[in-house]
Amino acid sequence: MFALVDCNSFFASCEKVFRPDLDGKPVAVLSNNDGCIVARSPEAKQLIPMQATLYSVQDLVKQGKLHVFSSNPVLYKDMSRRVIQTLQHFSPEVEQYSIDEAFLGLHGFTKADLTDYGHKIRTTVKQWTGIPVSVGIAKTKTLAKLAAHGAKRHPDLDGVLDFGTLADPDAVLASIDVGEVWGIGRNLKAKLNSMGIKTVLQLKNADERLIKKTFGILGLRTVLELRGTACFPMEPVAAPVTMRIVSRSFGHLVTELSDIKEAVATYTTRCAEKLRADGLVAGHFTVAIRTSYYRAKNQYVAARSVALDPPTHDTAVLIHEAMQLAEAAFTPGYEYLKAKVIATDLTPVGEVQGSLFAAPVDTEKRDKLMQTMDSLNRKLCPDAVKFGALGLKPTWAMRSEYFSQRYTTHWGELPTVKVWQMVKPTSTRLPCKPVR
C-alpha cells in the first residue's frame, strides 16, 4: 500500500504559519519576480484565478482584501524539510516527490486502520509544522495520487481518502478527467482524447496492446497501476543530481550587455555555491539568454556552452567562462527578459581524474578561498564577499516587493512574540482637553 501526502496550497500555508492575523484571510504567493500568482489559500481561491497577474489583483491588495507575498523559497524549503521529517515518523519509506508532495510506503499495515492512520498523519503534520495536508491511500502510487486529489476536493472527507474504502471506485474514476492521472501531461491528454479516452475509467479499461504500442511501457504501467497492480516502486533515495540550473527573470527588460553580464555572474555565483554545497564539480557549463515569449516581434534565444577541463566548482573560473559565453550569446538590439546558467556533467569532488592537457591548478589554495567565501557569506549575509563582476547596485535585479521573513533560518528574521498581559478594563473617563 502507498500513501501520497500533499500539502494544501503549500506556499500560501507557509506564509500563514507565523501570521495568526492572516487566519481565515485570502493569501496568495507570487512567482519569482512578482509576475503572477502561483499559490492561493482556500480563501483566495474563491477570489482570484491561478496565474492571475499582480497587476490584475492590485486593487484587492490595496483595499486589504487580498494579502500577497513574493516567493520566499528559503522558508518553503525549510518548511518542506520539516514536513518530510514529520512523515518519517510514520513510515520508514518516505520518498519526497516534490517540494509539497511525498509518497509513503505502507507495507504490513492492515487494511482496516489505514483511514485512521491517514488522519493521524494529517493531524500530526498540522500540529508539528502548521502545514495542512491531504492524504490519499491506495494499492498503487498512481491511485494514491488520485485519492489525494479527491481528499482535497471533497471537504466532507476531512482531508483523507483510502481508495480501497470506496463503494464503487469505477464510478469515481469515470467522473475524473484523464488529464488528472499522474504522468499524463497536456500532450498525452490530447493524444488520449483523440483516441476517445476522456475519463480515468476509460484509460483503466483501455486495450493493453494499443496503449503499449502508442505510449510505450510507461503508458502500459500507468494503466496497470490504475487496475491496482503496483508498477512504480518506492524510490526513497533521491536520484543523483545531473544538473544544476540557476534561472531567473530580470526585474525589467534589459538591453545592455553589461547588465546581462552582471546578472549572469550573479547566477553563476549561486550555481557554484550550490555545487560546492553538494560536493560536486561541473564538466560542462552553459549560459542562455532570451527575450520574452509574450512578444510577437523581436524574439531572440541563444545559448553557448563550454567544456571545463578539469571539472570545477571554483566561482572565479566559472565566472571567467560565463562572461565569455554571455558575450558570445549576446546580440544587441533585443530586450532581454531572462538569463540562465546550467552546470552539467557533474561528478563528486573526490572522483575527478587529473587532466592530461590542462595545467595543474593549486586546488588546495582555491578550495580554501571558496570555503572562506562561503562561510563568510553564510555568517554575514549573501554576497557579503563577492567577485567584482557581480556589480555593486544591480539594476536588473528581480522584483520582490512583498517579501516575508525567513522565519526559520535567519536569526534576524525570527517570528516575534509579545508577553501576554491581562487587558485592563478600559477607562470610561473622557480625555481631558489641554488647558490653554
Residues of this chain that bind other proteins (CB under 8 A): 18, 20-21, 23, 81-83, 85-86, 124, 127-130, 407-408, 411, 414-423
Grid cell at residue 75? 522558508
Q: Is there a cis peptide before residue 310, judged by omega within 30 degrees of 0?
A: yes
Name the burial class of residue 369, with classes exposed (0-12), middle (13-18) and buried (19+) by CB atoms within 10 angstroms of its CB. middle
CB of 408 to other proteins, least distance (A): 6
Name the burial class of residue 270, with classes exposed (0-12), middle (13-18) and buried (19+) by CB atoms within 10 angstroms of its CB. middle
CB of 91 to other proteins, least distance (A): 15
Query: Which residue's CB is nearer to other proteins, number 359 or number 417?
Result: 417
Query: Which residue's CB is nearer to other proteins, number 357 or number 420?
Result: 420
Determine how many CB atoms are found less than 10 A away from the CB of residue 59. 10
Q: Which of 146, 154, 153 is nearest to 181 (CA)?
A: 146
Beta carbons within 8 Å of 207's beta carbon, 6+ residues apart = none
Beta carbons within 8 Å of 398's beta carbon, 6+ residues apart = 32, 33, 34, 248, 249, 250, 251
Query: Which residue's CB is nearer to other proteins, number 49 or number 415?
Result: 415
CB of 80 to other proteins, least distance (A): 11
CB of 123 to other proteins, least distance (A): 11
CB of 388 to other proteins, least distance (A): 36
CB of 5 to other proteins, least distance (A): 14
Beta carbons within 8 Å of 136's beta carbon, 6+ residues apart = 3, 4, 6, 143, 144, 145, 146, 147, 148, 149, 150, 151, 161, 163
Contact 263, 396 (CB under 8 A): yes
Query: Which residue's CB is nearer to other proteins, number 41 or number 86?
Result: 86
Query: Which residue's CB is nearer to other proteins, number 23 or number 351?
Result: 23
| Sign (positive or negative) of CA dihedral 357, 358, 362, 365 | negative
Query: Which residue's CB is nearer to other proteins, number 82 or number 340?
Result: 82
Contact 247, 376 (CB under 8 A): no
Query: Which residue's CB is nearer to other proteins, number 130 or number 310?
Result: 130
CB of 380 to other proteins, least distance (A): 19
